[in-house]
Amino acid sequence: MTQSNPLLSEWNTPFSIPPFDQIENHHFAAAFDHAFDTERANIDAIANNGDAPSFDNTIGAMDQDGVMDRVLGVFHNLVGSVSNPELETLQRDLSPRYAAFHAETMMNKKLFARIDTLFQNRQTAGLNAEQLRVLELYHRMFVRAGANLTGDNRKRLAAIMQRLAELGTDFTQNLLADEREWFMKLSETDLDGCPSFLKSAAKQAAKERDTDGYVITLSRSLIVPFLQFSPRRDLRETAFNAWVKRGENGGKTDNIDIVTETLQLREERANLLGYGTFADFKLETEMAQTPANVRDLLMAVWEPAKAAANADAAKLTKLMHEDGINADLAPWDWRYYAEKLRKAEHDLDESELKPYFQLDQMIEASFDCATKLFGLTFKPLDVPLYHPDARAWEVLKDGRHMAVFIGDYFARSSKRSGAWCSRFRGQSVQDGVDIRPITVNVCNFAKAPEGEPALLTFDDARTLFHEFGHALHSMLSDVTYGFISGTSVARDFVELPSQLYEHWLSVPEVLEQFARHADTGNAMPRELLDRLLAAENFDQGFATVEYTASALVDLAFHTETPPSDPMVKQAAILAALDMPNAITMRHATPHFAHVFSGDGYSSAYYSYMWSEVMDADAFAAFMETGDAFDKKTAQKLHNHIYSVGGSKPADVLYTEFRGSLPKVDALLKGRGLDKTA
């Protein structure tokens, strides 16, 4: 079997990249069967080892990458990026099966007894600092997964975890189906008044859907420009309603019942483990620690953000009335009139800016910053990948192979929405060999017609830098144990390396070098660059309100009694906050994938803002030197943040880098909201 199945045979490829040109859908079922059998045998061997428990024969043995890591690494990335009905069927079968296997492992009494013995004797076991940290994290993981439960409680928790896995998969697939199936067909006349880059992207989207003319899809990089530039209020309303109603349609892809059951099961899970609410359980291991601390942060930002948004809404309403539309400002109006206001206040026009943000140039900019900060170089690789749009580079530092980086940048119907960083393989040291990561950035930028350069908005370019910051966190990892490598850190710390990296996009010398016009090749004129940077905080009231509202709804869902109707509860939360009428949540409940496709960001969507408090302060460390690429500060950033994974608690890592933890003032100042506070 192993010889005929490329997922199970040795990968004789450059840097052991998965042999994508050989892997077919049908290979996964047999590979997973083999992986489950192999992993169970490995766990049994560790649990039943006749020797006294030691770090190496217990924790070290568990930390070794196995066939399951290899197969899951490929599968999870493909099902998110190039999904198809066969993979989705397998995903529905696999999710509860894997959840059951994980629960079986976490509740293995003999295995936990070995781990607990090591933990109780950890201070006299002669462990180094990294081993002690890994042991403590493994022990905590087992306890929080129910290792100490007995009898029916053990069985019930296992059943809950299996059902939650099913619900998360259903939520994800429903959302993907809605995003894949909806599009709005338009004629050339329907796009009158829209810039040429939007028309080109809409034409390319139509081509990819085998239809004539132009289409608007639910891809953010297509629908947001349409909402910004289309003078057709009726079409903006149609598109916007489709966008915000993803997952809420009353049909087979409706996510409301899934959300209801998910919230109930999460509370029951937390109660079984001795916590009052799911948020109490989830936040215990994060920097924030308690729901009260999270709410304090969010509310410190909410009022000044709402004040700024309401002030802007008055300006936008005035512009709309000047257009002869005597109605209340609606959510599908905001971006259109905000674009007009930006033009009036900052003399900025997206159609003027966008030719300067070519995708290839922005990729080069992100690489160049990594070269200046961390000494990395990037060498293109000609290897088979999982889709023709994906591309790969070898990442080196002083001649040392550091990683393989894969970039997959364009939207397509087989890819879930959003942008993310993942990995086919993480970093670790195994049997004395430094295993280097294979990291992938996935985005959903609008694809240009063949022969034309792909153009980004400034926000798109910021997304590219954000995800590459995550990739650097993975690729620079230099620890021994995979359990703490790369992005394996507290959820409200993991966004620091990514959000911090965004700052370098706005460094004038970076834009002067890489923001070059797609037609002329000329650098962005300095006066245009100055106007762009001066407007960076434009519309921050809107951006902060839509984000913070989502984070507050997430927190309320997981700190209060699970609602029988999540949409009624969502409306009540927003009403209590006095949510501006013309702004909606960035992620409404039925398509809140961060929170309901799994529990990664559940009770923790605030994490982006928690990390932003730190990233504003961290970049200030460079600004205080007068050099955005100061070598000494960059070395400290590498040593204490990007290379050390979760080898120490997050607050310790940040304090070692900066000297102390920052206050929320840094965030308010960074967003330009301190003037309204």
Which residues are the active-site residues? 467
Q: How far is CA 446 from CA 206, 217, 230, 311, in A?
A: 12, 10, 17, 32
Q: How far is CA 252 from CA 73, 170, 180, 249, 258, in A?
A: 29, 10, 14, 8, 11
Query: Collapsing DSSP states into helix, strand and coil, what is residue 433?
Result: strand
Burial annotation 90-126 (CB, 10 A radius, 16+ → b, else e) = bbeebbbebbbbebebbbbeebbebbbebbeebeebe
H or E element that contains 446 = none
Per the DSSP assignment, residues forming a β-bridge with 435 are 428
Write a three-state SS string for 329-352.
Answer: CCHHHHHHHHHHHHHHHHCCCHHH
Length of the chain: 677
Q: How far is CA 612 from CA 91, 300, 617, 618, 667, in A?
A: 34, 14, 8, 9, 6
Q: Residue 9 half-sphere exposure, CB side, CA atoms within 13 Å?
A: 13
Residue in this structure with the two tokens 């308010």, named with its chain if needed: 668
Strand 391-397 and strand 400-410: pairing? antiparallel
Q: Token digits for 116?
A: 């607990």
Centre a 10 Å sphere on the Cβ of residue 210 and count the other Cβ atoms it contains.
Answer: 6
Q: How far apart are CA 456 and CA 197, in angstroms?
A: 10
Q: How far apart are CA 434 and CA 425, in angstroms?
A: 12
Q: Residue 556 half-sphere exposure, CB side, CA atoms within 13 Å?
A: 21
- 421 within 8 A of 487, measured Cβ to Cβ: yes
> What values do phi and psi take at 568, rounded to 5?
-65, -45
- 474 within 8 A of 439, measured Cβ to Cβ: yes
Q: Closest Cα partner for 378 from 360, 393, 363, 362? A: 393
Question: Angle formed by the axes of helices 256-272 and 540-559, to 10°?
Answer: 60
> What values do phi and psi take at 162, rounded to 5?
-65, -45
